Structure 1
Amino acid sequence: MDAKKVLEAALLCAAGPLPERDLRILFDGAVDTAGLRTLLQELQHDWQGRGVELVQVASGWRFQTRPEMRVFLDRLNPEKPPRYSRAVLETLAIIAYRQPVTRGDIEDIRGVTVGSQIIKQLEDRGWIEEIGYRETVGRPALLATTRQFLDDLGLQSLADLPLLGGEDERDAQDALVAALQSGQDEDRAAFTPDLFAEDGMALVTAPDAAPDPAAADAPAPAASPATPTNIPPAQGQ
């Protein structure tokens, strides 16, 4: 059996991303890690120029529709994705770039009280979770983003988060939130790091290091939950 066809079938039928350790199980030890990655790269190349692409995200590999297909696929599923308030987006941005943080840390940065419903909304969406407690008075919970957050952004790690260049941190955050909010409109593409460049914002990438929290108060996805199909929507959905 053609190993590449086996990979293709497994990935197309999977309900979510498949890690490489699971993909190796398909071949019962006959394909090593290096060989598996070569096959995945070949499969990526085979699907270039098609409506669906093979990508690697935090949880593994998956097929997803390309962002430019969204406007057409939305006609099959006209339900509007959930919209997130500015407060929710700012809170998620702070957690993403300054994690782990406590609720008090977020309130200090935003300058306003963070309502319990904001934290719950992000937890229910699967974007943040409690990872421990700070050893101080009251032992407040420490919040961090999840693998689901990275998967929904189409990222492999936090180091892939885009940074926004600019001298004024508050202006940068305002611009980011505005871009994310507009990204929720039905006539706009799903969130991708390129969204910021399309809006005339300068992106600074840091491929070999995690983002500097001081650079910006960062992006949050304006995504809808994945639709129940074998091939997930383009990232951000």
Structure 2
Amino acid sequence: MSIDLDLQRKVEAILFAAKEPLTVEQIEVRLPQGTDVRAILRALKDTYETRGFTLTQSGNHWAFRTAADLSDILEHQKEEQRQLSRAAMETLAIVAYHQPVTRAEIENIRGVATSKGTLDILMEAGWVKPGRRRQVPGKPLTWITSEDFLDHFGLETIMELPGVEELKASGLLDKRPAIETIPGTPNMFEEEELTAQQEAQESENT
């Protein structure tokens, strides 16, 4: 299938001018109706694969990024960021590997209480966001990772997290939803496990 070079140039320009990663839908609205944006993005990704910067996909978002193997030769100045506390790092890891997960489940896994400020810090960083509420008594809010989390850590999907399959295979990461790991949780509270992307989509649609 041949790609219209004019449309490809337009998609390229849209991505370069964007301050943040864009979804396919955000690109489509700026182009003639019927444009196969996904095919153009795939072509651009192949074109830039060996260049100084590459076209990367994080979830449903696309953006140009400096080639990872060239980062050591670049001179850049980063804004000084507040270092995450141990509690915040542990909470982020639990959300990433157990999502969707409630605050009570996070506390159960960590073994200590989790302050509201810890989740607030992760929300301010843009790495976690509220998911859907569990359909159990009290309807607790769940937490999931965001597209910014994927983009920051260079992940296309959450399943690319380091060692996730190995951790599950070794038994170090529970394969069940986190709610089932809480001792004494009645079977009546069990619900179908949804993927992080499904949770995120349903949260955005509510």
TM-score normalised by L of structure 2: 0.69
1-side partners of 2:83 and 2:107: how far apart?
A: 22
Measured after TM superposition, the shift of residue 104 of structure 1 is 1.6
Aligned to 1:116: 116
Question: Is 1:27 the counterpart of 2:31 in the alignment?
Answer: yes
Question: Is 1:141 the counterpart of 2:145 in the alignment?
Answer: no
**CA 1:77–1:37 in 2, change beyond 3 Å: closer, same or farther?**
same
Q: Quick check: 1:11–1:62 contact (8 Å CA) kept in 2?
A: yes
- Number of corresponding residues: 170
Aligned to 2:187: none
TM-score normalised by L of structure 1: 0.61
SS in 1 for 2:101: coil
**CA 1:152–1:13 in 2, change beyond 3 Å: closer, same or farther?**
same
**What amino acid sits opposite 1:100 in the alignment?**
P
Q: Deviations over 1:141-170 (max 9, x none)?
A: 32222222223233343333341625462x
Q: Which of the pair has the greater relative contact order for Cα pairs under 8 Å at 6+ separation?
A: 1
**What amino acid sits opposite 2:55 in the alignment?**
L
**What amino acid sits opposite 2:121 in the alignment?**
Q
Q: Quick check: 1:11–1:63 contact (8 Å CA) kept in 2?
A: yes
2-side partners of 1:156 and 1:109: how far apart?
A: 26
SS in 2 for 1:165: helix
Aligned to 1:186: none
Question: Which structure features the higher share of helix residues?
Answer: 2
Q: Deviations over 1:40-62 (max 9, x none)?
A: 22212222222210011124211
Q: 2:14 aligns with which of 6, 10, 15?
A: 10
Measured after TM superposition, the shift of residue 135 of structure 1 is 5.4
Q: Which has the larger radius of gyration?
A: 2
Measured after TM superposition, the shift of residue 26 of structure 1 is 3.3
Unaligned runs of 5+ in 2: 178-206
Measured after TM superposition, the shift of residue 23 of structure 1 is 2.2
1-side partners of 2:64 and 2:88: how far apart?
A: 29
SS in 1 for 2:22: coil
- The correspondence of residues 1-237 of structure 1 with structure 2, limited to 5 A, is 2-31=6-35, 33=36, 36-73=37-74, 75-134=75-134, 139-162=139-162, 163=164, 165=166, 167=170, 169=172, 212=175
Q: Quick check: 2:61–2:147 contact (8 Å CA) kept in 1?
A: no
SS in 2 for 1:2: helix
Q: Deviations over 1:185-206 (max 9, x none)?
A: xxxxxxxxxxxxxxxxxxxxxx
SS in 1 for 2:131: strand
Percent of counterpart pairs with the same letter? Answer: 32
**What amino acid sits opposite 2:154 in the alignment?**
G
Aligned to 2:188: none
2-side partners of 1:82 and 1:138: how far apart?
A: 34
1-side partners of 2:24 and 2:53: how far apart?
A: 20
- More displaced 10-residue stretch of structure 1: 93-102 or 142-151: 142-151
Q: Quick check: 2:59–2:156 contact (8 Å CA) kept in 1?
A: yes
1-side partners of 2:34 and 2:115: how far apart?
A: 53
**CA 1:213–1:153 in 2, change beyond 3 Å: closer, same or farther?**
farther
SS in 2 for 1:69: helix
Q: Quick check: 2:45–2:56 contact (8 Å CA) kept in 1?
A: yes
Measured after TM superposition, the shift of residue 21 of structure 1 is 2.1
